[in-house]
Structure formats: structure tokens, C-alpha cells
Structure 1
Amino acid sequence: MNAPQSNGPASVLRAAYEAASAAVADLGDEESWLPSGCTGWAVRDLVFHWLQDAQRALVSLHTPAHGPADRDAVTYWRDWRPDTAGAANGRRWVRVNGSMFLDFGQLRGLYLETLAAAAHAAATARPGTLVATQGHVLTAGDLTTTLTVEATVHHLDLTVRLPHAPGPSAEGLAAVRATLDGLLGRPGLPEWSDTHYARVGTGRAALTDEERAALGPAADRFPLFG
């Protein structure tokens, strides 16, 4: 077994997952029914989706692939554009399957242990190893960064109606900003906080007229992924 990585993408993912776990660990059943920032999903639906992503991480990190890589930590997101029909189907699938957990505590427990396992798998993977996920080949390091980005954006979704829950990690938000900058081909507006950039960059919030004017033609590319 490879020694755990003490820095790099795996440590950033661990910070993101630890922050996410802290936000979910104390949630009760009533709170799990509150709306999230994802259209049509309650908190428990989002947690189930998050669980599915951590399970995908475990599979991907143990699925060696032949090269060359056809995606990296930025270009991976070019496939994830707003899609009304696809989004609606995904919302229904998650709601139906997530509803099988009658006790939120069961879902919460599975979520927490799976995130911990995925973080450990990322720490013991060689960053340059090629792995497969969702029809593409990436390095394990780049895959790990995409997992950080997804976890951090969904952490923001989770806390929309949970103002007292711990927020995302600073490391995770920095990874989201770097990804959005890469997709945009330039830095976001300097006055944007990491959180606001994450929201407008992924379509969670609309650009204001002033922001559109400041961005110029680049404004038409928003959301950068969603």
C-alpha cells in the first residue's frame, strides 16, 4: 500500500470532506427535510447525492486506466453544462432512491463513513496514476481535485437553510476558484469572494448587470458549469 500523501490534492480533499462531514454530523431528521440549494432537493436528497459521489470516488480510485488522459481537473467540467431534461431526470432519481432511507441517521452514518474512506483512498493513491470515471481518463490527482470542487459547491448548497452549520473549507473554496478561473480563461472579478464566485460560476446565482458589464463578452459563458 502506498504511504498517505501529506499535501497536494489529497490533503485539499480531506479538508473539504472533513468540513462537509462536520456540517452533516449533527443534522437531525427535521433538518434533513429543509430545502437545499439544489432545485427540488431537500438536505437529505443532497446528502444521498453526495454519498453517491464519494462511492464513485472509491470505485474510480481503484479502477486503473490506460492512457492518455483525456480530461484534467479543469476540462472535466466542460461536460457538465446546464441540461434541463438531464437535470430533471437526475433530481427524480436521487429523490426516489434517497427516500429508501426512512431514518436519516442511517443515511448520515453511511455518508460519514464513505467520505472518510474516499479521503483515505485519495491519500494513498499515487497522484499521477491514470484512473477512469464517467467515461473519461484522468490522473488520480486531477480526479481528486474534481471531487473537492463538487464537495465544496454542494457544501454551499447544503447550508442555504442551515445558517449555523459549519461552512466549506478555505482549501476547497480555493480549488473551486482555480477551476472556475481555468474554465473562464481568466481570473474572476477581483471583488468577488470565493463563495460568491462559486455561486455565480455554477449558476446558483445570477450575474448582476454591473457584473456583466465588468466581465464584458465573458459574461455570456456563465454559468461555467452546473
Structure 2
Amino acid sequence: MRRAGPTTGPARPPWCPPGTAVAGCTHDRDPAARGAYDGITAVVSGLDDADLQRPTRCRGWLVADLLFHVLCDAQRALVALASPAEGPADVDDVSYWRAFAGGSSDATRVAVATMDGLLSDDAVRPAGWNDPEYLLKATGRLPLSDRDRRDLGEAAGWFPLLG
């Protein structure tokens, strides 16, 4: 893999090698994608086999597991972006997200199930947390209170689940 430098340009993700056309790959054209992939590459490029077998903050996931998960998500996104859709668009880049704002939408249920999956079977979220509060605390966007820490016990150390 090429490294970022004054003459080589930004590092490319391994699934988007130089001189190849990968359907949907916007690494060279999209600064946000380039920043995300270059950031991951910078963090993991120096890892050896032992480092890849270390645990992450995602309970039960090793570094290699998490990296493979990120790779698979990126590949799914590339396929989705390159797949044609029937008919004209029915939402724009702003109205698309309105369906996900609060409430108990399908997206909220999926996000809650994902957070539940990251927790051990022994951990149960406090009964007083509604779904939005749970998601905010699980992602570190809202800090745990002293009462939360007491209610969660040892599991409080696993928060935030993402972040």
C-alpha cells in the first residue's frame, strides 16, 4: 500500500488499488471518504499479528474482527452506491434523514438491537432508559450519571460501546 506523502498523495484503501476501476469507489474524489479511510489506515498500518488479536472496546471483538466488519460495511456501501434504482429519487439528502429523527422507527429498533448485541448477556440496561437515551449513552454522546454507573455495575466500564 502506498503511504501518504508529499509526492505520493493520500493512501488508498486496499479495496481501491491504484489503476483499477472499482464500481462506486470515490476515494480519490470524496474528501470525507478519503479522510475516513486514511485515518483507519494510519491507525492500523503499523499493527502486527499480535496487535490484531487484541480486544477492542466492543466486547468480544478483536481488532481483526472489527477491521473485517468495517471492510465488509465499506464493500456493502460500494455495492449499494453502484446499484441502479428504479424510477426517480423519492428523497433528497436532507429529507432522507427525517425518517430517523427520534421516535421508535425501524432505524431506532435496529440501533438498539446493535447496542444490545455489543453488551454481554449479563448486562441489562437500566429500566429507566428509553431508546433514545440508551443510544445516546451507548454511543458516548450523553455521559453516564452516578446512578447509571451504580445501576450498571461492572458493565458501566463498557460504556461507551462506540466512540
Structure number having the greater helix percentage: 1
Larger RCO (CA under 8 A, 6+ residues apart): 1
- Larger Rg belongs to: 2
TM range (shorter): 0.3 to 0.5
TM-score (norm 1): 0.35
Taking structure 2 as the reference length, what is the TM-score of the superposition? Answer: 0.46
